[in-house]
Amino acid sequence: MTESASQDRSMFAMLFESQGQPLRAARIPRPIPAESELLIHVSACGVCRTDLHIVDGELPAHRSPLVLGHEVVGHVVQTGSATRGFQIGDRVGVPWLGGACGHCCYCSAQRENLCDDGVFTGYDRDGGYAEFMAANARYCFLLPQRYDDIHAAPLLCAGLIGYRAYAMIADATRIGLYGFGAAAHIIAQVAHHQGKEIFAFTRPGDTRSQQFARSLGAVWAGDSTATPPTALDAAIIFAPSGALVPQALGATKKGGSVVCAGIHMSDIPSFPYRLLWGERTVRSVANLTKADGEAFFKLAQQIGIHTKPIPFALKDANQALLALRSGAFDGAAVLVV
């Protein structure tokens, strides 16, 4: 296929090279898409806490150097010979799950999120902290037109993983969200639209985030150590703190569920059996499926989610990661390319 971009074969990128060290600005070769891939000119890329886990060494590095970023929005500038359903100029989104084997027991059951040979964007393969990226077309999405690039970027992980966690507790009416960041501020709006009651739990003393949660429809907001005014039907933990699991169990009524929605969490401390007793459940969310994305983006087009992107220039990716680590903002950091 012909390419609609310039003939310059290099690109600017922010490179991860060593855990515990800042990303390095560099010019590197532009990727050449394989027959099943799209070459994408990146316009925006969300900054996810998973990126921070990789940089900080909480997740083991899979390769180095590496271009982080898995909440990617951009336009197709070249298509591989075996791709289907995409054309040059299409606006696409690239999520965390960047590939799977396609034939194991999980993939055959449309649970490719659990594939043992899964490949992840910005972890196993280069992501969106760059001007261009190549992505497997099977795992890309056409994005709802009602969102511009910067507002669409947080939907690619914060939205998708949050939605998968939310779908696990679809019957719950009173829902606790522990950690009111990028994912929670999206799912709170979905739940509010569907008539659910949201209880937001933040870092102790974080009145700013508590007010932000109320502005998005939360009926109550308080410290993560607080007891809500009524028992919860279910809770989703977005904060990477294992200590919140017994806290959430204690706030959840019998028969309720606690969903751990992060890829990394500190160790869960021991807790008395009475917190689990009463047919309460604790479960995790792993990655996403193609079906998750199709369902979520259809819903997002219908209801109009107001993401709150905090823009940073691509060259300022280190500042964005620092701001995320310190909890300096509400909403979601987005690199603008």
Nearest to 59 by CA among 19, 93, 9, 104: 19
Report, as an integer, the average pLDDT of 1-25. 81
Report pLDDT for 1.
44
Q: What is the residue whose two structure tokens read 């193609």?
A: 290
Whether CATH 3.60.20.10 fits 10-156+307-336? no
How would residue 5 be classed by pLDDT, with cut points 50, 70 and 90? Answer: very low
Encode pLDDT of 43-76 as tens digits: 999 999 999 999 999 999 999 999 999 999 999 9
Task: Give the residue extent of every domain in the chain.
Answer: 10-156+307-336, 161-284
For the question of whether the overall pTM of this predicted structure is more than 0.85, the answer is yes
Report pLDDT for 7.
60
Report, as an integer, the average pLDDT of 118-127. 98
CB atoms within 10 A of CB 36: 17
Q: Which two tokens stand for residue 10?
A: 């290099």
Nearest to 288 by CA among 61, 92, 106: 106
The full length of the chain comes to: 337
Report pLDDT for 169.
97
List alpha helices for 195-238, DSSP H: 207-215
Fold type of domain 161-284 = Rossmann fold (3.40.50)
**Strands 91-94 and 72-79, bridge-based pairing:** antiparallel
Q: Supply the mean pLDDT for the chain.
A: 95
> At residue 192, what are phi and psi to the nearest 5 degrees?
-60, -40
Report pLDDT for 198.
98
Q: Which two tokens stand for residue 29?
A: 């070769």
